[in-house]
Amino acid sequence: MSVSKSLRVSLLALGVALPLTGGLALAQGAAPAAAPAAGAQQSNKVVARVNGQDITEADIAVAAADPALQLPSIPDDQKRELLTSYLIDLKLGAKAAEAAKVGDSPEVARKLAYTRDKTLLDEYLDQQARKSVTPEAARKLYDETAKTMTPEQEVHARHILVDNEEDAKKAAARVKGGEDFAKVANELSKDPGSKSDGGDLGFFTKDRMVEPFAEAAFKLEPGQISDPIKTQFGWHVIKVEEKRNKPVPSFEEMKDQVNAYLERKAQQDLIVGLRKDAKIEKLDDKGNLVEQKKQ
């Protein structure tokens, strides 16, 4: 989402350069800008006045949380000054628009109604989500999910990657003859990601590797070395170091995902419940009833 039109005007008025792409992009999933310090007294602190109308810390916090007003590349002090200037312009512009009776038009009235409905729903959904995310609910969901997880096998392996079968056969003969696998991998392997670490690939599940490689690796027992295996990357010689069942992620590792799921489920359940109790009618372009549901 790009910088809003009104903020763009304020920025230009202050001489702040905007990127040529036409707005500062908000990265998907990025957190809103940090709000000023909390607390009722601090929130009510007046930072500016416009024709006698106060602008407070709380007003800046609301503006800072607006996705359309994200300014990620600007220092905090400058960002605060820009938001304050934007709120000044917003107050002045809104009063001027009221005097010009801009809000009397049906189109603007619809936009205002939509914005009000959206703000109320968003806040209601946020409140319900916060109620649902408790330590007890999170732990219960994690415990129930962990019980259903099927152990998945992992292999810890090394490999030597070369360009052709002949070189792979020579490498296999050396390591099967007793030479240190890691030493030979450091000398011969073409894989830049593992060459300097003796060909070590760490632990991986079967789906993480291309099929011919994975099939060969998972058939080997610890300490065994494969014959040359061909993949689209070249020819491999594989040595399995260990096998194990993949550990179940801990609660701390999964906590953010668990909380996010609880939030989404609470919000979804709320909307489903509202629809269930509503009489919903849909009309065609002639105004005729085409669908009626007591959902």
The whole-number pLDDT of residue 34 equals 41
Distance (Å, whole) CA 261 – CA 209: 29
Cα Dmax for the chain: 91
The mean pLDDT value of the chain amounts to 85
Structure tokens at 78: 């400058």
Query: Which amino acid is residue 230, in one-letter code?
Result: K
Give, as one character, the DSSP assignment of residue 209.
S
| Cα–Cα nearest to 188, from 196, 157, 228 | 196
Which of 28-37, 48-57, 125-134, 278-287 is predicted least confidently? 28-37
Please, how many CA atoms are within 13 Å of residue 235, restricted to the half-sphere of its CB? 14
Confirm or reject CATH 3.10.50.40 for domain 153-245, answering yes or no. yes
pLDDT digits (tens, 9 = 90+) for 75-95: 988 999 999 999 999 999 999
Residue 32 has pLDDT above 50, yes or no: no
Query: Which amino acid is residue 280, in one-letter code?
Result: I
CA 61 to chain centre: 23
Query: Quick one: average pLDDT of 170-185?
Result: 97
Q: What percent of the chain has pLDDT over 90?
A: 68
Which residue, chain included where needed, has tokens 């490498």?
171
The whole-number pLDDT of residue 42 equals 63
Q: What pTM does this model have?
A: 0.56
Domain ranges of the chain: 5-100, 104-149+249-295, 153-245
pLDDT digits (tens, 9 = 90+) for 258-293: 999 999 999 999 999 999 988 888 888 888 888 666
Query: Quick one: average pLDDT of 146-164?
Result: 93
Residue 134 has pLDDT above 80, yes or no: yes
Better-predicted residue by pLDDT, 23 or 123 = 123
The whole-number pLDDT of residue 180 equals 97
The whole-number pLDDT of residue 27 equals 29
Query: Quick one: average pLDDT of 242-253?
Result: 91
